[in-house]
Amino acid sequence: MKLLTKYTVTALSELHDQIPPFPRTVAMKIMEEEFGCPLESFFSYISEEPIAAASFGQVYFARTTDGNNVAVKVQRPNLHHVVVRDIYILRLGLGLLQKIAKRKSDPRLYADELGKGFVGELDYTLEAANASKFLEVHSSFTFMNVPKVFPHLTRKRVLTMEWMVGESPTDLLSVTAGNSVGNVSEYSERQKLDAKRRLLDLVSKGIESTLVQLLETGLLHADPHPGNLRYTSSGQIGFLDFGLLCQMEKRHQLAMLASIIHIVNGDWASLVRALVDMDVVRPGTNIRLVTLELEQALGEVEFKEGIPDVKFSRVLGKIWTVALKHHFRMPPYYTLVLRSLASLEGLAIAADTNFKTFEAAYPYVVRKLLTENSAATRNILHSVLLNQRKEFQWQRLSLFLRVGATRKALRLVASNSETSLDHSTSKATDTIDIAYLVLRLLPSKDGVAIRRLLMTADGASLIKAMVSKEGEFFREQLCKIIVGILYQWMIKLFGQGITITQYSRMVLANGPSSKESGLSPRSSLPTYDYNSIFRDRRLRVIFSKVLKSASRDKILMLRFSWASLKIIITASTLACHQLVVSLSEAYLSKIFDAPKRYAVSA
């Protein structure tokens, strides 16, 4: 499978790159006709050979008279009648196919839609407008790189854009594969591993950029194949070729967001409802039958740590089989998104067979649901985490937060641990980071969605979750926060002029990373004020509502009181221990360094 995917990606990329160029003299003549004057008026240098050739044109590297490096795309001669002819032939073929297959839907409409797009691509001023719009809409996403257009050097058959320096996915894949001459490899193992790191980073950012276009801006790049992507030296993903863009409706964006969540949760009935909202399922379709067939097709998908342990392309294939049987409609954006993710997955799998597209995409989806305060996203969040009785579905919440709080798209690229690209922590630390994330998010302005969720949920189910075995890591993190608050209070009360010691910093930072905790070797206090959690009036209202709801269950309240007492006693003990160590370090370190040697680890 790995070799097949690798060769497929390489072959398709080469097919795209190996379109024969047309003569340079013809290209220069077209440029002069479009500009209406000698090229020396605009360019001090134009490369002798085209840098790239595509079906509609070819690209030259050039330098403007004011010193800018640019890419100049020149359209192939006599292209208009060729495009019209090919679309006409395609339309005839699809009409014949409709009669033979006796399809209800008219596939010739796809040819018409394709023809509109192709004819539009023949006017490079439209592509220039598309590129400028795509740049403007995505300018706030710094990991995305879109070249600027030079309007005064752009005409109907000539497009001039900023030159983008970067590696293509095909080149990175070639280095990763270790192309060799005879029995001697062209690249060292270090070069291969570094290329693999860059390729996986490009794929990870490619998936996130696809989700940004899909779920944030709604403006999609309509030709997201590897030949139109670059990886820059600054670690950005660069986009080329803006002949076609696709604008999504907001309701379709939300339905697509919901569908990703439902696939990860294995909730096929909800997935069908999302497909209905996306106008994929035609009116009058037997929804119950479609749901049963999807369950049968996707029910065999295995889940590993809550994530579908299967290639995205395989899930796509199974959905596509049901879609063809029931004559689903495939809107342009739906096809583009699936094509983009499948293409990126193919690149990643060629470099790392353990790559999981769902695992790479899910953190972005979780962050959006947790931080966007809109009625539509709240409905999705509530439908995922609460059942019909408004009770928390703890297993889903645990999965939702665990996967959403960590990014596991980058994996080990070699067996030796020194080459790890996995920026996530161990499973034990992940759970602490999740609790830390939630407690930091609750009082913040981005915590509106979580606060509303807590107000909506049944309070008793929240208390049950907190005192359960699965809620242990939340209790541990809460204990650490109380330790920090008590320690700071005691330092102010008993230790005038005493700063937080190196040992105490280590204890306070245990849980989330020291970087996330706001602690550094030179800091005297944590930058994050945990007292804000207890001072926040909104959180006090939520807590009161939760306790009131749970108070009817006396056994549950008894368990909650016991768990709270244990947290308070543990936190007080640790805070006192830290205070003693700090005072010892401050007053006795000049005499002997015993306190550091005999300090008991928390």
pLDDT in tens, 562-580: 999 999 999 999 888 888 8
The pLDDT of 219-223, averaged and rounded, is 86
E-assigned strand segments in 163-228: 180-181, 184-185, 219-221
CA distance 369 to 382: 10
Least confident range from 4-18, 81-95, 97-111: namely 4-18
Q: For residue 325, what are the contacts with CB-CB under 8 A and spacing of at least 6? A: 293
pLDDT of amino acid 387: 75
Place of tokens 């606060």: 451
The pLDDT of 17-29, averaged and rounded, is 82
Residues 399, 405 contacting (CB under 8 angstroms): no
H or E stretch covering 58: strand 57-64
Q: Please say if the pLDDT value at position 418 is more than 80.
A: no
pLDDT of amino acid 420: 33
The pLDDT of 503-512, averaged and rounded, is 45
pLDDT of amino acid 180: 52
Q: Please say if the pLDDT value at position 1 is more than 60.
A: no
Distances (CA, A) of 302 to 2, 34, 189, 269, 306: 20, 58, 34, 18, 9
Structure tokens at 330: 């495939």
Considering only residues 419 and 41, tell me which one the structure prediction assigns the higher pLDDT: 41
pLDDT category of residue 524 using cuts at 50, 70 and 90: very low
Q: Which of 201, 223, 241, 267 is catalytic?
A: 223
Considering only residues 191 and 146, tell me which one the structure prediction assigns the higher pLDDT: 146
pLDDT of amino acid 283: 84
The pLDDT of 424-442, averaged and rounded, is 53
Q: Which of 66-70, 311-315, 507-511 has the highest mean pLDDT?
A: 66-70
Least confident range from 23-32, 46-55, 234-243, 443-452: namely 443-452
Query: What's the pLDDT tens digit per position in 323-340?
Result: 888 888 877 777 777 777
Q: Please say if the pLDDT value at position 430 is more than 60.
A: no
CA distance 173 to 351: 7
pLDDT of amino acid 580: 83
pLDDT category of residue 141 using cuts at 50, 70 and 90: very high
pLDDT of amino acid 346: 82
**0.85 surpassed by pTM:** no
Q: Please say if the pLDDT value at position 100 is more than 50.
A: yes
pLDDT category of residue 378 using cuts at 50, 70 and 90: confident
The pLDDT of 376-397, averaged and rounded, is 76
The pLDDT of 426-453, averaged and rounded, is 65
223 counts as catalytic: yes
pLDDT of amino acid 356: 76
pLDDT of amino acid 417: 29
pLDDT category of residue 162 using cuts at 50, 70 and 90: very high
Q: Please say if the pLDDT value at position 519 is more than 50.
A: no
Least confident range from 31-35, 59-63, 406-410: namely 406-410
Least confident range from 43-47, 108-112, 183-187: namely 183-187
pLDDT category of residue 394 using cuts at 50, 70 and 90: low
CA distance 104 to 109: 12
Q: Taking CA 444 as the corner, what is the angle to CA 438 and CA 449, rounded to the nearest 5 degrees? A: 65
Query: What's the pLDDT tens digit per position in 301-311?
Result: 666 655 666 67
To the nearest whole number, what is the mean pLDDT of the chain?
Answer: 76
The conformation of residue 154, written as its DSSP 8-state character, comes to: -
Nearest to residue 227, comparing CAs of 337, 343, 357? 343
Place of tokens 């059942």: 387
pLDDT of amino acid 553: 87
H or E stretch covering 544: helix 537-550
CA distance 66 to 183: 48
Dihedral sign of CA atoms 490, 494, 499, 501 in order: negative
Burial of 416 (0-12, 13-18, 19+ CB in 10 A): exposed
Structure tokens at 497: 């002029």
Distances (CA, A) of 414 to 117, 177, 351, 354, 422: 44, 13, 11, 12, 11
Considering only residues 108 and 4, tell me which one the structure prediction assigns the higher pLDDT: 108
The pLDDT of 235-247, averaged and rounded, is 89
pLDDT category of residue 40 using cuts at 50, 70 and 90: very high
Residues 149, 102 contacting (CB under 8 angstroms): no
pLDDT of amino acid 436: 61
Three state DSSP letters for 268-326: HHHHHHHHHHCCCCCCCCCHHHHHHHHHHHHCCCCEECCEECCCHHHHHHHHHHHHHHC
Query: What's the pLDDT tens digit per position in 48-69?
Result: 999 987 768 899 999 999 999 9
Q: Please say if the pLDDT value at position 503 is more than 50.
A: no
Query: What's the pLDDT tens digit per position in 455-492?
Result: 888 888 888 878 888 777 778 877 887 887 788 788 77
CA distance 377 to 440: 21
Structure tokens at 217: 């801006």
